[in-house]
Amino acid sequence: MMKIRELILIFGGLALFFFAVTYAFWQEGKPKKISTPVAKSPSEQCVESGEYMRESHMLVLDEWRKSAVRDGDRIHVTPDGREFEKSLSTCFECHGSRGFCVNCHTYASARPNCFGCHHEM
Amino acid sequence: MPKFAPKLSELKKEFEEKPSLLKGDYPDKELFDTPVEFRDGNWCYPAKPEIVEDLGFANPRKWAPTDDDWKLPDGWEKTIKDGMKDRLERFRSFKLFLDTCVRCGACADKCHFFLGTGDPKNMPVARAELIRSVYRNDFPLAEKILKGFSGARKLTPEVIKEWHMYFHQCTECRRCSVFCPFGIDTAEITMMGRELLHLIGVNNNWILGPVSNCNRTGNHLGIEPHTFVQNVESLAEDIEDLTGVAIEPTFNRKGAEVLFITPSGDVFADPGVYTMMGYLLLFEHIGLDYTISTYASEGGNFGFFTSNEMAKKLNAKMYHEAKRLGVKWILGGECGHMWRVVHQYMDTMNGPADFLEQPVSPVTGTKFSNAASTKMVHIAEFTADLIKHGKLKLDPKRNNHLKTTFHDSCNIARGMGMLEEPRYILNNVCNTFHEMPENTIREQTFCCGSGSGINTEEYMDIRLRGGFPRANAVRHVKETHDVDSLVTICAIDRATLPALMNYWNPGVSVYGLHELVGNALVMEGENKRTEDLREDPMAGFEDEEDDED
Amino acid sequence: MKKALMPLVMVVLLALVPYVAVQFAGLDFLFGVIVPYVAIVVFIGGFVYRVVDWARSPVPFRIPTTCGQEKSLDWIKQNRLESPSNFWQAAARVLSEVFFFRSLFRNTRAELHNGPKLAYGSSKWLWLAGLAFHWSMLVIVLRHYRFFIAKVPGFVQLMENVDGFLDVTLPALYLTDVVIVAAVTFLVVRRFQDAKVRLISLPADYFPLFMIFAIAVVGIFMRYITKVDVMSVKDLMINLVHFNLTLPEGIGALFYVHLFLVCVLAMYFPFSKLVHMGGIFMSPTRNLSNNSREKRHVNPWNPDIKIRTYAEYEDEFREKMKKANLPVEKK
């Protein structure tokens, strides 16, 4: 025999626990369709493979920022000898605009700090 | 030096030289690999078979912990396991405390027995592991699969020996529970451990003897009614000799307003009797309409140290007698575990006390709303209220010959929460009160080392070690403030602290709080007082002939 | 050390299993879909079972550990938190334990000096590390909602901003990542260094610490060093919470290590000491108010006990009582 208040507290607590753990299950939403880049020409390749860029583009951009701003080295040379100017504008030549980034970044709740200075809207 | 006490010099040497876990030395054996060793001074005599039989406990027989074979009854393993299962279903505390410990170690150095013995199994967490290891082996879920992983082990006679030893090296003082982040209370574990041991006849005569006495004669000491009366009356005579005030307490009187119940140690044992004299003087001073019962003549409850059923059986007498006598409410004397039972168990076990009234002080009119249901008031609450309302004529200078400190008893501090009242009283009846260091008082107070029914002579070795942290704190105020008087509100303290003080701090005497009240009370029509209740001379009240010198 | 070795080996093996299985055996579906579902069912079911199991045992007696002045006379100040006298005060007491580890804050360290003399020093490191560990853990768990909810809730974004406010490294360094690794390290080292704690530590104490350490380190690797495709990871999680059993392509094996260790920990949780998460709320020495003399606490199994009545007592002692002029019921 348990007192009513104790029952309410224990099962209320368990309900709260259940709700907290399964919180995500109750939320609406679908997986995002990832925007695909529109290449200038079909033969044009990005600085690295698509797979690498999906996971690690921020490392490339971070490296660009450091070498371009600090060392004045503004040209990126890919292993196969192609050259790119280290600039977000270079990216946007194929990838459209900032909207291309925002789409996924919002979905993953990863907030880039690029746009504080560059390509402000 | 008592027979079962270690030599002070040897014990000091042991503290200083022997490697110990307390000092950070890692033992060469793991926790459960060290066998228990019973030797002089670390075990209590087992209960006499006739007492065990009379009380209805299991397996009466002659045996001793030093025997190889403890003559456990057939199928004792099953008895223990069934007993555990039964208690897990009846006590959430037991189940929860076995399950939630994370072994963070916060409790490890909080136990007075660990501090006094350095024995790893006296860390509260380890004490609980003694049962937990068996529990894991047979009861819960997945950890069973990985035995070595979670410290599970089989129930063997060695385990029972270990339980017996270490559940009697726990005084159920709850100090560990203050520090535990989950409030795990080793007292609960120890109580369950002792209940289980009683199921197979592993017991202690110093507990069962008083239980049996209390059941038959109404008090632990086995005092029969006529002797009880004689003794209180002789205390009243002592008071008259000393103060000139005649006091005539009544016994078993129907229609009194208040039933007064105190531990029988206050009636019979030195220095408790001086506390009793203090009560008698106080009641006379305020003209209280009270009576004392020879049937419910015990405040303490050693049944509490055997099983909750036995605690209930002995405690039931208080309400039974209050009802028969038709009193309005009950006033309780100074005692530790008595108040644990009265405060946290009595109403649940033997209530509701709807034949009593909510206690009201007849002198001040104060309603004790905190005792509205149980209808039992602690004498310190009662007296503090009297002092606050200016109803007592007190001369605190009469205690100037004592330099006092106050020992919170464990149960009052951690099982009731009465911390301020005794201090308020003490500050009003004496001018020389000094607190011990803050980690040793109030909710962090240290046990006398002999609570929960182990205050027997043959257990002196363990008692002196267990009492070491308390003694150490007293020594601190002895050295810094010349304290020579240890004031307590617990009958077990009054019975056991004198031996502890003699051993560690010779020159410190033990007093009850109401003994000091009795010293300070200025009674109507009293003779000129020159001596306190112990007939020790009071400072500044010498006879006039002395003054002329 | 022996007691720490087995759990260490266990954690390493547990980490290798999904790595090998995904990298070489192509068991992505097992580790990406089946195991997580099993884990969450076991976690929730097990935890609820444990709590309900505790709740089934009654609390026969009102046994709060009073760590402060009780409510008594009007003019004596009650310690409402440490000696609560009503439900709300007791609730505040429990919450102060849950959120601030109040009892652990009291921790002291006893030292035995020559004399012999005992001294008690303040010892708050365990409290600090414990608190830092648990709070970091909570923040980290809540931050992970960003992987499970398509439109990331505001409180999660707020938490990310605050946690990453230092804005060093790319992506921004989370303080909790640093704190949890430091705190777990402290807790492990403490178990080795303090002889008392070392003696009482079981493999079952090291195991969750090593697990959490491994989970945190793998997570940190994925965030800062060896990247995984966050979009696919989130797609997988969104699929899972909507019971869509398709597995996105191309998630790195490291992610499966992280996920699998979390799943194992979740399944281990209800059956180990980790249930202290629920236990802390139910502890009768903390969650009961200290008002047992004011209000009667009922024991549902209060046994009927035959007592020795006054009548029996008088029967035995009547003559002696009469001689002592004690009143008797039967002449």
Residue type, B99: D
Residue B530 included in any domain: no
Residue C299 belongs to some domain of the structure: no
Same domain flag for B263 and B301: yes
CA nearest A22 in C: which residue? C241
Q: Do C300 and A110 touch (CB under 8 A)?
A: no
| Residues C213 and C243 reside in one and the same domain | yes
Distance from CA of C283 to the nearest CA of B (A): 6
The answer to whether residues C317 and C185 belong to one domain is no
Per-residue pLDDT band at A71 (split at 50, 70, 90)? confident
Query: In this structure, are B289 and B224 located in the same domain?
Result: yes
Whether this prediction's pTM lies above 0.80 is answered by yes
Question: Is residue B546, in this structure, part of any structural domain at all?
Answer: no
CA distance between the termini of chain A:
65
Residues of C in contact with B30 (CB under 8 A): 199
- Which residue intervals of B201-336 are DSSP H helices? 205-217, 225-243, 265-268, 272-286, 308-325
Domain boundary among B174, B203, B232: B203
Residue B443 DSSP one-character state? G
Does residue C298 sit within a domain?
A: no
- Beta strands C108-113 and C117-122, pairing class: antiparallel
| Domain shared by C253 and C287, yes or no | yes
Question: Do B159 and B217 have their domain in common?
Answer: no
ipTM for the predicted complex comes to 0.94
Residue with tokens 């980490």: C15
B183 and B214 co-located in one domain? no
Both B464 and B432 in a single domain?
yes
Q: Is residue B1 part of a domain?
A: no
Instruction: Provide the pLDDT for residue A43.
Output: 59
State whether B276 and B197 are in the same domain: no
Helix (H) or strand (E) holding B450: none
| B416 shares its domain with B446 | yes
Q: Please judge whether A10 and C250 are an interchain contact, meaning their C-beta atoms are less than 8 angstroms apart.
A: no
Which residues in chain A have Cβ-Cβ distances shorter than 8 Å to C87? 5
Question: Residue C103 in contact with residue B179, Cβ under 8 Å?
Answer: yes
Considering only alpha carbons, which residue of chain C is nearest residue A110? Answer: C171
Question: Based on the domain organization, do C110 and C150 belong to the same domain?
Answer: yes
User: Is residue C192 domain-shared with residue C314, that is, in the same domain?
Assistant: no
Largest CA distance in chain C: 100
Interface with chain A: mutation pick from C160, C238, C276, highest number of A CBs within 10 Å: C238
Strand B509-512 vs strand B485-488: parallel, antiparallel, or unpaired?
parallel
CA distance B419 to chain C (A): 6
| Residues of B whose CB is below 8 A from C313 | 216-218, 295
Same domain assignment for residues B405 and B470 = yes
Is residue C300 included in any domain, yes or no?
A: no
Q: What is the DSSP string of C8-55?
A: HHHHHHHHHHHHHHHHHH--HHIIIIIHHHHHHHHHHHHHHHHHHHHH
Does residue A55 belong to the interface with chain C, where contact is any CB pair within 8 Å?
yes
- The predicted pLDDT at position B543 comes to 67
How many domains is chain B built from?
A: 2
Query: Of B157, B177, B203, which residue constitutes the final position of a domain?
Result: B203
Start-to-end CA span in chain B (Å): 40
| Nearest-CA distance C120 → chain B (Å) | 7
CB contact, 8 Å: C193 with chain B? no
The closest of B454, B227, B257, B437 to B360, measured between CA atoms, is B257
Are C279 and C312 found together in one domain?
no
Average pLDDT of span A47-68 = 85
Residue C294 confidence class, pLDDT cut points 50, 70, 90 = very high
Among the partner residues B179, B420, B472, nearest to C69 by beta-carbon distance? B420
SS3 B292: strand
Block mean pLDDT (10 aa), chain B, length 549: 84 92 90 91 95 95 95 96 96 96 95 96 96 82 66 91 97 97 97 97 96 95 95 96 95 97 94 96 97 96 96 97 97 96 97 96 97 97 98 96 97 97 97 96 96 95 96 97 97 96 96 97 93 92 58
Q: Which residues on A lie below 8 Å from C284 (Cβ)?
A: none
Report H helices in B91-224: 92-100, 112-117, 124-138, 147-150, 157-166, 175-179, 186-199, 205-217
**A39 vs C: CB within 8 A:** no
A7-16, B368-377, C21-30: least confident range: C21-30
Higher-scoring residue by pLDDT: B544, C269 = C269
DSSP assigned state of B327: -
* B184 located within any domain: yes
From CA A104, how far away is CA C55, in angstroms rounded? 46
Contact flag C82-B123 (C-beta cutoff 8 Å) = no
Same domain for B193 and B225, yes or no, is no
Structural domain including C325 reads 307-331
Give the domain extent around B172: 8-203
The pLDDT tens digits of the residues spanning C28-45 come to 899 999 999 999 999 999
Residue B525 domain-assigned (yes or no):
no
Q: Which residue bears the tokens 């201090």?
A: B423
Residue B479 pLDDT: 96
Q: Are residue B87 and residue B219 in the same domain, yes or no?
A: no
User: In this structure, is residue C302 part of a structural domain?
Assistant: no
Residue B308 lies in a domain: yes
Q: Residue C230 sits in a domain of what CATH number? A: 1.20.950.20
Q: Which residues on C lie below 8 Å from B93 (Cβ)?
A: 59, 63, 284-285
Residue C155 resides in a domain: yes
Could you give the CA distance from residue B460 to residue A47 in angstroms, rounded to a whole number?
Answer: 84
Do the domain assignments include residue B341?
Answer: yes
- State whether C145 and A2 contact (CB < 8 Å): no
Q: What would the mean pLDDT of C194-200 be, rounded to a whole number?
A: 94
Q: Give C 11-50 residues with CB within 8 A of chain B.
A: 50
Chains C and A touch (3+ CB pairs under 8 A): yes
Residue C142 domain flag: yes
The residue among C50, C53, C230 with the most chain A CBs within 10 A of its CB, best to mutate, is C230
- Whether residue B137 contacts residue B128, with contact meaning beta carbons closer than 8 Å, is answered with no
User: What would the two tokens of residue C79 be?
Assistant: 């310690």
Looking at residue B549, its pLDDT comes to 44
User: Do B337 and B240 belong to one domain?
Assistant: yes
Element (H, E) at B488: strand B485-488
Mean pLDDT, residues C228-235 taken together: 87
Name the residue among C231, C250, C278 with its Cβ closest to that of A32.
C231
Q: Can you give the pLDDT at residue B548?
A: 44
* Residue C325 with chain B: CB contacts under 8 Å: 229
pLDDT at A65 over 60: yes
The C-alpha of B517 sits at a distance from chain C's nearest C-alpha, in angstroms, of: 19
Residue of chain C whose alpha carbon sits nearest to that of A104: C231
Mean pLDDT of chain C: 94
B320 shares its domain with B337: yes
Q: Hey, which chains touch A, using 3+ CB pairs under 8 Å? A: C
pLDDT of residue C247 exceeding 90, the answer is no
C and B touch with 3+ CB pairs <8 Å, answer yes
Q: Same structural domain for residues C326 and C241?
A: no
End-to-end CA distance of chain C: 76
Judge if C327 and C275 occupy the same domain: no
Task: Name subunits touching B (3+ CB pairs < 8 A).
Answer: C
- Structure tokens belonging to residue B326: 């038709």
DSSP sequence for C98-126: HHH-HHHHT-EEEEEETTTEEEEEE--HH
Is residue C301 situated within a structural domain? no
The per-residue pLDDT for A48 is 85
C166: in domain = yes
C279 and C311 share one domain: no
Rg (CA), chain C: 28
Q: How far does the CA of residue B100 sit from the closest CA of chain C (Å)?
A: 5
Residue B202 in tokens: 């592993």
CA distance B350 to C63: 16
- How many domains, in total, are found in chain C? 2
The pLDDT of residue A1 is 44
Separation between Cα atoms, residue B265 and residue B268, nearest integer Å: 5
